[in-house]
A and B are shown apart, each in its own frame.
Chain A
Amino acid sequence: MPTFRNSETARGLSLIAPPALFALLLLAVPLTAIFAFSFWTQDFLTIDYTPTLKNYREALSEPIYGQLMLRSVLIAGAVTLATVVLAYPIAYFISFHIAPNRKSLWIFLITIPFWTAYLIRVFLWKVILGFNGVVNSSLMTLGLIDAPLSEISYSPYAVVITLAHAFAPFAILPIFVSLEKIDRSLLEASRDLGESRFMTFLRVTLPLSVPGVVAAVLIVFIPTIGDYVTPRLVGGPDGLMIANMIQVQFLRLNNAPMGATLAVIAMAIVTVISLIFIFLNRRWLKGRKA
């Protein structure tokens, strides 16, 4: 074999080595450590290294963990649904109804709000949704309600609203990119063959934008389910999510193994849901092709 071919491979390997090693040390090792930790137990500050399934048994039997996990999935699901459904029309609007030289301006306008520190934004939502907040005081001034709505301030609903706002650009951008990729002459062809605007959207645009929607769903769902700040600030007792419990186990209850167990279970659930979603999408797309 000529040496040239080997040197190409060697060059490629030496180039990928720094990031690969970095990921290996900082990702593979810690994740393995977490996985290992979930099989150990901790008593105050001493860790017992005998492998045991005690944590998993506790996680699966104590109702609070299951409740928290379910709530996290439901809230993340609601956030994803709301965010993606609300994001699609705006992505569509920018892609199809804005002149090309203006598109980047609109994208710019959409991203500006997110240059505020996340923490401050969540706090501001607390203010908006709070007892004396903007929503309540304006609704009361308009005479639409008599007393301030309590459901929107420290509740799962507040979490959903806040997170839907926080992840808006993460949903808009992938959908926008996939809409931009659609060859406009396909839509003209559809109109030429007799379809109405709406049906063209349903039969041509929407199916072709599915990759962007799938990306948006995953980009929103996965980080949302693990969010810590929003449930903590606006969730109230009923709005806390799994990340809050993991933090409590680690930093307050000195039960790192339990925290690790919850983390592993959370990761597993997220992976399974994501894979199911991707799988269903593939089936759906294949079915249409057939």
Chain B
Amino acid sequence: MTWLRGYALLYLLFLYAPIILLPMFAFNDSTIIAFPLSGFTIRWFVEIPNTPALVKSVQTSVIIAVTTALLSTTLGICAARAGAKYTFPFKAPILGFIMLPLVLPEIIVAVSLLVVLLALGLPLGHWTVILGHTLICTPFCIAILNSAFANLDPSLEEAAFDLGESRWSTFRLITLPLVMPGIISALLISFTISLDEFIIAFFLTGTEPTLPVYLWGQLRFPQKIPVVMALGTILVALSVLLLILAEFARRRGIARMGGKDTGGFL
């Protein structure tokens, strides 16, 4: 099927088109983002730490993303476990409602949260963004953790209980380690979504913008663009590194437990 392979390679080219440009312009000695290229320089990278607002926005984003990841994964664990193990009245509607943000355009979530927060007179700041991000990340965590909990043999928990452990120590010693790959997956996904998210942050951020919101403000200043490119390059490199590490961890985790590698965080 050579035409299919050819198509696949073309498609990959299409996918990589923008980001190939990223390092090109990050090292380009010009403030104009266009061809032809001017020359090699690292001054844009050097400028990053010298732009305090930029560094501050990265800090803000990371704080928000970490908190969001922790919160949404915890909520996700609660919901996935409740869904997998227990029956209670209105189970399906409750679970459906929690997953609703998946099918809502983010702008709707952003404006509706803004309306409520303003009506309550609450100040906008880190926490408002965290709440908004957690709202949209939790469904993703639930989706990932659902399959992790579904793959858990229920008799393992029963065996631990039978051997004398309490419910909580059973969860701690048996359940948690076995769903850990799912938990790590959920943490990474929600961290990434939060880090990258723009529209909710745009509406709900206070005086300290997140990185995407800061970048948005910078895009109208042409001389700032190359620094943005440089930062983008670093972020991509870091993310790829993180992903590779996560993939290694996942494979080791599977090998340690003797499972089969079904491929990826799917």
Show the binding face of A for B, using Cβ within 8 Å: 8-9, 11-13, 15-20, 22-24, 26-31, 33-34, 37, 86, 89-90, 92-94, 97, 100-101, 103-104, 107-113, 115-121, 123-125, 127-128, 130, 132-134, 137, 165, 168, 173, 176-177, 218, 222-223, 225-229, 233, 243, 246-247, 250-251, 256, 259-260, 263, 266-267, 270, 274
Contact = CB atoms under 8 A, between A and B. Distances in A.
A115 B240 contact: yes
Given A9-B86, A113-B19, A93 B219 contact: no
Contacts of B86: 8-9, 11-13, 15-16
Interface string B58-102: 000000000000000011101101110111110100110110110
A115 B18 contact: no
B191 to A, nearest CB: 11
B154 to A, nearest CB: 13
A256 B87 CA distance: 41
Nearest to A177: B266
A108 B264 CA distance: 8
A178 B212 CA distance: 33
Contacts of A274: 103
Contact of B266 (A107, A229, A233): A107
B107 A30 contact: no
B21 A19 contact: no
B112 interface: yes
B136 to A, nearest CB: 10
The size class of the interface chain B forms with chain A is 35 or more
Interface in B1-51: 1, 4-5, 7-8, 11-12, 14-19, 21-22, 25, 33-35
A225 to B, nearest CB: 6
Interface in B136-187: 138, 142
Given A31-B112, A116-B235, A263 B18 contact: no
Contact of A90 (B8, B75, B142): B8
Contacts of B198: 118-119, 228-229
Given A29-B116, A124-B22, A229-B199, 5 more contacts: A19-B75, A117-B235, A119-B215, A128-B17, A134-B17
B113 interface: yes
B54 interface: no
A27 B75 CA distance: 15
Contacts of B74: 18
Interface in B91-127: 91, 94-95, 97-98, 100-101, 103-109, 111-116, 119
Nearest to B99: A23
A233 B247 CA distance: 34
